[in-house]
Amino acid sequence: MTMIEALRSAMDVKLASDPSVIIFGEDVGYFGGVFRCTAGLQARHGEERVFDTPINESAIVGLAVGMAAQGMRPCVEIQFADYVFPAYDQITQEAARLRHRSNGQFTCPLVIRMPTGGGIFGGQTHSQSPEALFTHVAGLKVVIPATPHDAKGLLIAAIEDPDPVIFLEPKRIYNGPFYGDHSGKSVPWASHDGGEVPEGHFVVPLGQARVHREGAGVTVLAYGTMVHVAEAAAAAAGVDAEIIDLRTLLPLDLETITASVQKTGRCVVVHEATRTSGFGAELIAEIQEACFWHLRAPLLRVTGWDAPYPHAQEWDYFPSPARIARALLEVGKD
C-alpha cells in the first residue's frame, strides 16, 4: 500500500468495527479528501459516519471535542496542517485539558489528521511543519509516521486511544516509497520495505520508536520523510549510522533514544521544520541530560531554515542527503 491507501484502510477498519468512530472534515465525504485519503469511505459507511463540513477549522475541532466528550471517537481531517491555526484554541484549551479539568469525568478520544510538510510545491500556506507547536502542549499526543505500515498501525492506535492525538502525515511520501531529490524527482527508499501493510486490524503502539537502520558510528534521530532522507545520506557518506524513527513525538520513547546514543556516543537530529525552537531542540536537551557522559562529540541539528517557507527554494530549504551527510561526517571526527 501507499501511505494514502494505508491510512484509508485504517479508517475503514475502525468504521467497520466501532460504531462510535466518525470521520469528517472539509471535502472528506463525497470527494474523498484533497489527497484522496478518505475516498470511498462515505459510499461504504454512509453519510452519517463520513461527511463534509464547512470551511471552518475551529468549528470542525470544536464539534469533534463535544462528540468525544459524549462517548464518540471522531477522526477529523484538517486539509493542510497550515490551516489548523484557527482551531489551535479548541485543541490546546479544550481537547488537551478536558481529562484534567474534569478530574477524569470526561475524556477526549479525538484524532486530528493533518497533511504536513513540503515537497509538493505548495508554497508558504500549504507546506509548514508545525509539530513543535503541539509537542509543547501537555495533554496531547503527537504522531508522525514514516512508512505505510506504521501509518496504518499508528492511526488505528490513535483512534483507539482515550486522549486527543495530533496525527501528522508527511505528504511528501503520501503516494509512494520515495523521498525526492534536489530537482523534486522521485528516488526509491534505500532499503526498508515499509509498503507491506497487513490487511485488517493491527496496532503500532504509541510511544515506541523504531530502529530503522542499525549502526554503531552515530545515532540519527528523525521522523516522517526525514527518516528516508537520513538513510540516503548515511549510505552516500559511507557512515555506520543508526537511524531511529521516532514515530511518536509525544509520548517520546527516550529509552530507545538513549540506548542508541550511549552506544554510539554521537548524535545528529534531523527535521524539516524551522530550526529555532523546533522539536530537535527538545531532543538535544533530553540527550544532553541523559547521555552527557557518553558523548564523544557535540550534538548537531540539520533542519529547515529559520524563514517563511520559501516556495522558489523549496529543495534548498529541506535537509538534503548532502546536508545530512556533511553533519554525519562532522560529528564523526575524533
Q: How far apart are the two ends of the chain, measured CA to CA in Å?
A: 43
Closest CA to 230 of 330, 322, 119: 322
Rounded to an integer, what is the distance from CA 332 to the centroid of its chain? 28
Exposure on the CB side of residue 67, measured as CA atoms within 13 A: 20
Strands 141-143 and 248-250, bridge-based pairing: antiparallel
Tell me, yes or no, if 311 is annotated catalytic. Answer: no
Distance separating alpha carbons of residues 271 and 283, to the nearest angstrom: 11
Distance separating alpha carbons of residues 52 and 129, to the nearest angstrom: 25
**Among residues 45, 126, 149, 192, which one is catalytic?**
126
Closest CA to 10 of 158, 115, 110, 169: 158
Identify whether the C-beta of residue 280 lies closer than 8 Å to the C-beta of residue 252.
no
Distance separating alpha carbons of residues 160 and 201, to the nearest angstrom: 11
Using alpha carbons only, what angle is made at residue 87 by residues 85 and 91, rounded to the nearest 5 degrees? 110
Distance separating alpha carbons of residues 213 and 8, to the nearest angstrom: 27
Residue type (1 letter), 80: F
Identify whether the C-beta of residue 269 lies closer than 8 Å to the C-beta of residue 237.
no
Which are the catalytic amino acids?
126
